[in-house]
Structure formats: C-alpha cells, structure tokens
Chain A
Amino acid sequence: MTTPDGVWSPSPLAQERAAFRRAQRRRSALVALVSTVVVVTTVVLVVTGAPGWERARTAFFDPAYAWESLPAILDGLWLNLRVWVVAGVVGTVLGLGLAVARTSRVPALFPLRAFAVVYVDLFRGVPLLLVLLLVGFGLPALRLPWLPSSGAFLGALAIVLTYTAYIAEVFRAGIESVHPSQVAAARSLGLTRTQTTRRVVLPQALRNVTAPLANNLVALQKDSGLISVLGAVDAIRAAQIATTGSYNFTPYVVAGALFFLVSFPLSRAVDAYQARRGWGRSIATVSGAGDIR
C-alpha cells in the first residue's frame, strides 16, 4: 500500500501475515525450549541416578586431581600441536604433489603417476593405527643409523604417510571439479599444459577444496594423539601415565577437553567459511533446515 507521498507502508494483508509469522516463530521457540529441557533433564536424571554415579564422578571428574595432572598433559599437548603442524604442512604439500602428478600427462612423470595411484589406494585402505605400529616398530628394526628412533618422529611419519593419501584425494577431486571448458579456454589462448595447470586449474581447484582440506586437517589434529601408542609422551600418554596407580581417570577427561578446545575453534572456522561461501547452513537454527515454508 502506498501513501499519497509515495512511501510504502504494509497493507492490512501484509500486517496480518506478519503477525501470523511472529506467532509461528514464538510457538517454534517455545516448542524448542520445552523439548530441550525435557531431553537434558532426562539425560541428567539417568546419569546421576545410575547406581555407580558417585564412584564414576570421583574417578572421572575429580577437580583436584585434574589440576594436579594438568601441567604434564599440557606438556604432552604441546607435542601433539607440533606433530599436527609439521604433519599437516608436509602432508598438504606431498598430497598436492601427488594429485598434480596423478592428473598430469607428462611422460617423464609416468613412474610418479603409477606410484601415486598405488600409494593412495594402499594408504587409504590401511587403518592409521596399523600404519603407526608398522612404521613405529618396523622401521627401527632396520637399524638405519641416520633414522631418528623417537616415537614422536616415527609417529609423525606414519601420520604423514596416511594423511598424504587422504589429502591427495581431496586435491584430486578439486582438480577434477574444474570444468574442462576452462582448460579448453586456456589452451586455445596458447598456454601450455603446465601453464594451464598452474594458472587456471590449480587456483580454482584450491578454492573448491578449502573446506574438505580443512576438515582433514582438523581430523589430523585429533589423530596426532595416536602417536601415544609408540610411547611418545603426548597429551594422551601423559594422561595415561597420570592414571597409572591412582585408578583415577580424570586425566583422560582433561586430555579430551584440551583436544576439544583446540579442534572446536577450527571446526567452527571451517563451518563459518563454508557458510560464507554459501554452502551448508548453520546448525543451530530453531526451525531446522532452511527457510522454505
């Protein structure tokens, strides 16, 4: 409805609809609130009403023991973070190299291409824990004098081996997601294959895979805890040491909380990035998926 001076004001129809939508929103919010209260109360009652709750609470949530074990676990976490950064950087670089080699057609790179195929198939199909054990106990058995034998080094090496394969697949998907017409346009200008890959295909591929790549790096951060099986004193191993003898498992909860504190902002940053790029939706809207009526 337009007033004589040309300014639009909502018609009675629009006002009535807006009022209806407000009522709907209030109702949705109320339902969400009640449902949340019911679920949370039920969980709390079931857990605290369990026969072993008192013992579990002292064994897993002992604040004094948590504080006591914290410095050692933080020390261990520092190792996890270093392994994470090094393995993340090395894995990303090697993964990108493998993906480019695999999609290239340069004859001299054939051995590398064949290697890339076998490598990715192999390391995608073998559990990381198994790779850790084989590298951690197999390589030292070779008694190579120049090979560091620390659990942290061998553990990081095993993680790099596995994550290089994962990350190579992410990059390969990105490269293949670039439409062939982009390559045709670049080649029609006279660009060589290499120039086309570097200037046209890879920049677009990297944009397309930012989110899945970041997801892999978050997963790598958590998996860095697996190096504890090789005796490296990381956060998990430090927690394990603290529980030994005391029969108090609070340090595990502390280690878990620390891992979560590191990975949570990362996951959220990835979600925010994806939302900004228009993929996916924020998870915690009351109405659930989408705004479509």
Chain B
Amino acid sequence: MNHLLSLRGVRKTYPAPRDSGLGRRSAPAERRVVLDGIDLDVDRHRCVVLVGASGSGKSTLLRVVNLLDEVDDGEILLDGEDVADPRLDANAVRARMGMVFQAYNLFPHMRVLDNVALAPRLVHRRPAAEAEDAAVEMLRRVGLAHKVTAYPDQLSGGEQQRAAIARALVNGPELLLLDEVTSALDPELVGEVLDLLAELRAEGRTMLVATHEMGFARRVADEVCFLHDGRVHERGTPQQVLDTPERDRTREFLRRLTS
C-alpha cells in the first residue's frame, strides 16, 4: 500500500537576506537552503512529529507540503501522486489537507461559525445551511458550541486555536498539518489544545506535526524526526530519538531544551 504522504529529495531555498537595498538579484549560490533533500513518509492513521531548533525547516516543510510554497526540487507524493507538479490544481490538493498555524490565522472579520463554514461553502460548494450545520457540529466537537457567534478577538488564545483546528477539520482532510500550534499560547492554555490533538490522534487521524513540546511528541508520535540544517538528522520512535538519541546534534538539542 502507498504511504499517504511521501517526500522524496525535497529541496527548498529562499533568497539570502541582502546586505543593502541596492544588491543585485541573488544568484543560486547566495540562496539560503532551508530544506536540503528531505525524505519522509507518513502512513495513514499515523502521527509523525518534527522536532528541531528554530530555523531547522519544520515550518517550511509543512508549508511546502500544503503547497503554500513551491519546492526547488524533489517530489511530494500524496497518495502516490506528485502534488509538487505545477500542472496540478493546487487548490484541489490543498482542500484535501487541513493546516493549523502557530498564530491561529482566524479571519478577524468573520464570526467563528463563518470562519469554519467558509471552506465547505466555497471550496466544497455545499449549501449554506448544510455548511453551517457541519461547522456547528465541528465547533461542538472542539468544545466551542457556545462561541459560534463570537468573533475571534472575543476568544481566548486556546479557544482561537481550537476554532482554527475545527476550521481545518471540517472538510474531513486526509492529512492534518500542525505548525507549532501551542507556541503562541499562554502556558495554562496549552493543555486544552494538546488534549484535543491527542483525541484526534486517538481517532486515527493522519498527522504531520511540528512542535517544541517534547512531552506532547512523546504522547502522540508514532515517529519522531529530528531536523537539522534542512535534513532529517535522526528518526525513530519517540523513545529512540528523545530518550536514547544516537547523534550528537540530537543530544545537544535535547540538552538545551531541558537545561
């Protein structure tokens, strides 16, 4: 059987910051390599957790999988189909995934309900009433049934992030992409979001997660990948990578986290 998601030799560079506003356009050699040949598989109903220092490429990896950024090289196989191919309809591919962002990125001018109902209505062309029913059901699922008519700025950080998760879930995505979803939250609000994610994991959702929460990684991960300098530096079960790492870089990263 296919992996649901496979990355093969994925490479992504960004223009290096220029020294002055007058610099010429950066030649390939001057570009900053963020992903340097990533190979990664995510099987159905599995949860792969990406860990690594800031700037190690975790967020970029999620963004290129969601086709929010284009890769320079390599394949992104979604159910065996290379979705990095520019001939494919990227909107249709994105509609099969749900992405949750570090800063929630809710639409501030829409009620929570309309945030969640937007994609069912516009992308999946469901009638307004049906889309709203689905949105209300999903908001109830994340414990926000009483907040459907509130605007995002009337919610706590944890509630906003749960609303964002509902928005990502409402289309029944095959793959959930979670980018540092608790990093912007006050410590006492982290738990409610992580509990929800653990429930989704228990339901058998396929997830690719970037996180700084090692406890959470231990709790939900089937596989942990340690990213360093744009490569998968070490991978294995949470116990292997987080408790008995084999590589020096991994050990150093974990030591810094705990010290």
Partner-contacting stretch, out of B37-45, B95-103, B135-143, B190-198: B95-103
The residues of A that contact B95 with a CB separation of less than 8 Å are 189-190
Q: Is A184 an interface residue (CB 8 A)?
A: yes
Contact assessment for A185 and B119 in the assembled complex, using a CB-CB cutoff below 8 Å? no
Interface string of B105-128 (1 = CB under 8 A from A): 111110000000011001100000
Contact assessment for A191 and B119 in the assembled complex, using a CB-CB cutoff below 8 Å? yes
Interface string of A198-233 (1 = CB under 8 A from B): 011001100100000000000000000000000000
The residues of B that contact A200 with a CB separation of less than 8 Å are 107
Contact assessment for A188 and B109 in the assembled complex, using a CB-CB cutoff below 8 Å? no
Q: Is A35 an interface residue (CB 8 A)?
A: no
Q: Number of A residues contacting the other chain (C-beta, 8 Å)?
A: 17
Q: Is A36 an interface residue (CB 8 A)?
A: no
Given A199-B118, A204-B108, A189-B94 contact (CB < 8 Å): yes
Contacts of A169-200 to chain B: CB distance below 8 A: 181-182, 184-192, 195, 199-200
Contacts of A118-148 to chain B: CB distance below 8 A: none
Complex-state Cα separation, A182 to B123, whole angstroms:
17
Q: How far is the CB of B61 from chain A (nearest CB, A)?
A: 14
Interface string of B85-98 (1 = CB under 8 A from A): 00000011011011
Contact assessment for B167 and A190 in the assembled complex, using a CB-CB cutoff below 8 Å? no
The residues of A that contact B118 with a CB separation of less than 8 Å are 186, 189, 191, 199
Q: How far is the CB of A157 from chain B (nearest CB, A)?
A: 35
Q: How far is the CB of B169 from chain A (nearest CB, A)?
A: 11
Contact assessment for B122 and A199 in the assembled complex, using a CB-CB cutoff below 8 Å? yes
Contact assessment for A181 and B119 in the assembled complex, using a CB-CB cutoff below 8 Å? no
Partner of B171, one of A185, A190, A192, A203: A190
Contact assessment for B66 and A188 in the assembled complex, using a CB-CB cutoff below 8 Å? yes
Q: How far is the CB of A205 from chain B (nearest CB, A)?
A: 10
Q: How far is the CB of A201 from chain B (nearest CB, A)?
A: 10
Q: How far is the CB of A148 from chain B (nearest CB, A)?
A: 41
Q: How far is the CB of B122 from chain A (nearest CB, A)?
A: 5
Contact assessment for A191 and B122 in the assembled complex, using a CB-CB cutoff below 8 Å? yes
Which interface residue of B63, B91, B103, B171 has the most chain A CB atoms within 10 A? B91
Contact assessment for A185 and B101 in the assembled complex, using a CB-CB cutoff below 8 Å? yes
The residues of A that contact B155 with a CB separation of less than 8 Å are none
Nearest residue (CB) in A for B106 is: A185
The residues of B that contact A199 with a CB separation of less than 8 Å are 118, 122
Contacts of A40-59 to chain B: CB distance below 8 A: none
Q: Is B145 an interface residue (CB 8 A)?
A: no
The residues of B that contact A187 with a CB separation of less than 8 Å are 68, 91, 94
The residues of A that contact B168 with a CB separation of less than 8 Å are 188-189
Nearest residue (CB) in A for B97 is: A188
Complex-state Cα separation, A188 to B63, whole angstroms:
9
Given A188-B94, A192-B91, A203-B109 contact (CB < 8 Å): yes
Contact assessment for B123 and A190 in the assembled complex, using a CB-CB cutoff below 8 Å? yes
Contact assessment for B91 and A191 in the assembled complex, using a CB-CB cutoff below 8 Å? yes
Nearest residue (CB) in B for A202 is: B109
Q: How far is the CB of B128 from chain A (nearest CB, A)?
A: 13
Given A181-B101, A181-B103, A182-B107, A188-B68 contact (CB < 8 Å): yes
Complex-state Cα separation, A184 to B168, whole angstroms:
13
Nearest residue (CB) in B for A190 is: B95
Complex-state Cα separation, A86 to B112, whole angstroms:
38
Contact assessment for A195 and B122 in the assembled complex, using a CB-CB cutoff below 8 Å? yes
Contact assessment for B109 and A189 in the assembled complex, using a CB-CB cutoff below 8 Å? no
Given A189-B123, A191-B119, A195-B122, A204-B94 contact (CB < 8 Å): no
Given A191-B91, A191-B119, A199-B118, A184-B171 contact (CB < 8 Å): no
Partner of A184, one of B68, B91, B108, B122: B68
The residues of A that contact B98 with a CB separation of less than 8 Å are 188
The residues of A that contact B105 with a CB separation of less than 8 Å are 181-182, 184-185
Q: How far is the CB of A276 from chain B (nearest CB, A)?
A: 16
Contact assessment for B91 and A190 in the assembled complex, using a CB-CB cutoff below 8 Å? yes
Q: How far is the CB of A197 from chain B (nearest CB, A)?
A: 12
Q: How far is the CB of A206 from chain B (nearest CB, A)?
A: 9
Nearest residue (CB) in B for A181 is: B105
Q: How far is the CB of A185 from chain B (nearest CB, A)?
A: 4
Partner of B167, one of A181, A189, A192, A204: A189
Complex-state Cα separation, A192 to B91, whole angstroms:
6
Q: How far is the CB of B12 from chain A (nearest CB, A)?
A: 16
8 smallest CB-CB distances across A and B, nearest first, come from A190-B95, A185-B105, A190-B123, A189-B119, A188-B99, A190-B94, A181-B105, A203-B109
Given contacts A185-B107, A191-B123, A204-B109, 7 further A-B contacts (CB under 8 A): A181-B103, A184-B68, A188-B68, A188-B168, A190-B94, A192-B91, A204-B108
**What are 14 of the A-B contact pairs (CB < 8 Å)?**
A181-B101, A184-B63, A185-B106, A186-B107, A186-B118, A188-B66, A188-B168, A189-B119, A189-B167, A190-B95, A190-B119, A191-B118, A191-B123, A195-B122
